[in-house]
Structure 1
Amino acid sequence: MWCKKVLVAYDGSAPSHKALEVMKGIAEQDPGVEVLLVHVMRLYSTGSAAAGVDTVALDDASAIKSELEAIAATLGNASAVKVLKGTSPADLIVGCAKREGCDLIIMGSRGKGGVKGFLGSVSYAVTKESPVTVLIAKEGD
């Protein structure tokens, strides 16, 4: 197989569901392909220098983690689920792929920014910074 370990970035959006479909197609071809399902829990600064507190959508991240764990349980491939926490989703995704030895990143593209509606800002940044192949799953047929 042309890849050994796949990282799938998932945020619950329709394009990220498409990324899961693409991953499943690849994983079904070779049970030796490892799958890492990741969700980024983006931290937002409250702007309060005194408190230094970050607010996060913990319930959403927990629900998505549970969803990914259920998906991982159905795969015939070795799989793991991670929630990445930080302020830069692209940096977190690329950093995780490097640390985990992934040779393919699959993600959706919302297309709400970045390159004239073709790539979202996060998918654009990942393709720009990643040392490994990035496959962008667009919504639609």
Structure 2
Amino acid sequence: MFRKILVAYDGSKGAEAALEKGAELCKLTGAELMVLTVYRHHSILEASLSMVRGSDESGASLDDAMRAVSREAAEHAKARAGELGVESVHAFIKGGPSARTIVSFAEEKGCDLIVVGSRGLGASEGYMLGSVSHKVTSLTSIPVLVI
């Protein structure tokens, strides 16, 4: 049924639920699990307007910090998937706009399914898709499971 399942992972509760469901599907189908964590690049203008300095004393930039946090999240997700019994897990990080990066990565890697978490907003919690999950579903022909 599925050969490659992509889970978009950002460390949120919704992403944890998506990871668990993706792991469950991998175990049922024997699929390979691909975990992708996406971080957003910051322009020089955005960095200059940020309350956070553009770089620290070591010269590390805001992008470097975002990349490091993303790497930690991806490594956590890979380890967690292993704990959940998935035999074949690969974790990746990419920079760019979240939804477009998720979709292009899934297409590039030949994924059969994309699993993403959803976040409710305000009084509509549980009824509205989060912006990333909504965009992913509208940008791809690959089946998307929103958790």
TM-score strictly above 0.5: yes
Aligned counterpart, 1:80: 90
Shift in Å at residue 46 of structure 1? 3.2
For residue 136 of structure 1, what is the amino acid of its counterpart?
A: V
| Residue 46 to residue 112, structure 1, CA distance change in 2 (3 Å) | farther
Q: Is 1:34–1:79's contact at 8 Å kept on the other side of the alignment?
A: yes
Q: Is 1:72–1:81's contact at 8 Å kept on the other side of the alignment?
A: no
Aligned counterpart, 1:19: 18
* Distance in 1 (alpha carbons) for counterparts of 2:3 and 2:108: 14
Shift in Å at residue 69 of structure 1? 3.1
Aligned counterpart, 2:80: 71
1:111 is aligned to 2:120: yes
| Residue 12 to residue 77, structure 1, CA distance change in 2 (3 Å) | same
Aligned counterpart, 2:42: 44
* Distance in 1 (alpha carbons) for counterparts of 2:14 and 2:90: 21
* Distance in 2 (alpha carbons) for counterparts of 1:76 and 1:119: 27
Calculate the TM-score normalised by the size of structure 1. Answer: 0.80
Shift in Å at residue 11 of structure 1? 0.3
* Distance in 2 (alpha carbons) for counterparts of 1:112 and 1:121: 10
Structure 2 runs not aligned, ≥5 long: 47-53, 55-60
- Greater share of residues in helix: 2
Q: Cα RMSD over matched residues?
A: 2.6
* Distance in 1 (alpha carbons) for counterparts of 2:116 and 2:140: 12
* Distance in 1 (alpha carbons) for counterparts of 2:91 and 2:81: 7
Q: Is 2:19–2:77's contact at 8 Å kept on the other side of the alignment?
A: no
For residue 127 of structure 1, what is the amino acid of its counterpart?
A: T
1:89 is aligned to 2:98: yes
* Distance in 2 (alpha carbons) for counterparts of 1:83 and 1:90: 14
Highest CA radius of gyration, 1 or 2?
2
Among residues 109, 118, 124, which one is paired with 2:134 in the alignment?
124
For residue 44 of structure 2, what is the amino acid of its counterpart?
A: T
* Distance in 2 (alpha carbons) for counterparts of 1:119 and 1:41: 20
* Distance in 1 (alpha carbons) for counterparts of 2:87 and 2:5: 11
Q: Is 1:5–1:101's contact at 8 Å kept on the other side of the alignment?
A: yes
Q: Is 1:72–1:80's contact at 8 Å kept on the other side of the alignment?
A: no
Shift in Å at residue 72 of structure 1? 4.5
Structure 1 runs not aligned, ≥5 long: none
For residue 10 of structure 1, what is the amino acid of its counterpart?
A: Y
